[in-house]
Structure 1
Amino acid sequence: FKDTASKYSSMDRAAHIQTSDGFFVDVDVSILYRIEDPYKVFTMIGPGTFFESNGVLPRAEPILKATLGELTTEEFYNSPLRVKKSEAAKQMLYAELIQKGIKVEQVLVRYFKYSEEIQKNIEEKKLKDQLVFKNQAEARASIEEAALKKIEQEGKVIVEVEMEKGNAYVTRRIAEKDLYMRRKKADADLLVKLAEAEKVRLKNNALQGSGAERMVGLKMAEVYKGLDVIILASDGAAGVNPLDLNKTLKLFDIRKGVVK
């Protein structure tokens, strides 16, 4: 560490601090400071390295015991709380030493160590606490898992019910569609049959009246129309005069008085 601030640093024993619950812990602390007013340091503390031996060190451990000693054995493992107490120690050291020309920049807890017996007890307690937390977590996990399974089962039942409703709706709509189509087809067939029956009725009525004889006469006229040359006797009882329609109707045994 040549040419660095570390070559001007000094080391002393670890601070022996009693926790608030009665156990002792050795704390390795780094105190960063600088000479703010050399005149005050020289006149109020002394020359040479007295600023350290008579200034910083005598006040450091009592203040560390006052601040860090407020922590319990387990709270030393709580980093945010430990830093908070270190900051309080820095403020107290600063307030006392700035008056003598020394400015405290930082108080850093680097390491702490309990006796082996205490450390063992702490570790055993931690293991027991972890086991308790583990059991509690497993119990909560079991409860949550059971709740999740219940929700899943309820969800499946709801889905099945809704699917059955959907299938029933589809079946009902298909049946309604088929019934509608059958009804419409039956109505259409009925209309066709009624129309055919009406056609037959009208045709029968037409054939039974005077229109039937007229139809026969017209058909005979069509027959005559298709002949190019015809030679018939025009005199006597069997004579045929195609221009005499009444006589022609009589010839074919059609009622008299139909054509005038």
Structure 2
Amino acid sequence: MSRDSAIASGHAIPAHAPAWAAAMRRFTNWLVYDFGGGPRPWKFSWVINFQKAGTFVFLGALIAYYGNTSTAAWIYLAMHGSYGLVWIIKDLAFPDPNWQVRITIGGGINAFLGVLGWYWVFGWLLISGTSQPDYPLPDYAWFCLCISLCMLGCVIMIAADAQKYFTLRVKRGLITDGMHRYIRHPNYLGEMMIYGSFALMVWHWLPVLVLAWVWIGLFAVNMVMKEASLSRYPEWAAYKQRSWWLFPGIL
């Protein structure tokens, strides 16, 4: 079971894809790949990696600028900043081929301003003091929850991406064991856990809106499109029957 990228996953639209998902895919393809036309000087992966690698530096600069040395600020830097570095290591070791497409200048700007840049706003809200979290649990318990969610999400995402990358190098087709044995989109589950942990740390309404847009407008569309593509395999029906979309026993 392979996963499309969070924003772009190729121009191809499966023949059996739902009309609403196909329309959303065409729209995001245009925004990210082709917007503005002209030369295609960079790969989509370069735009993503710029944001991922820059997160640690950006958050550290915010801490210095605002003089916020609170425990919450340092924990958020460790969580979000380290996740960005984890992503870079993953991209160096087993890059997702879906990210390697070249895009227009306008497409790269749209990708950053439309999604990636908003992730930096999460940290700004917390470190600048714009968000004053009043957590439902004592701080130490809430921090433990957020850190645990982030770590587990990283493990799930990395393991699923590695399994997909190395398995498909040897044999094309469905992957129905390992990380994909019980759920069909573990990569997305991992990423949702990671960014969910960031939103919980910030405890502000804006990250909720951003994640709702990403998860519904991008992740859900990509998962629906991927399942439409994988439905061409004879073993798909049996695999779908015995597995879950995102989380065993719930969804």
TM-score (norm 2): 0.21
- Higher gyration radius (CA): 1
Higher RCO by CA contacts (8 Å cutoff, separation 6 or greater)? 2
Select the structure that is richer in strand: 1
If the length of structure 1 is used for normalisation, what is the TM-score?
0.21
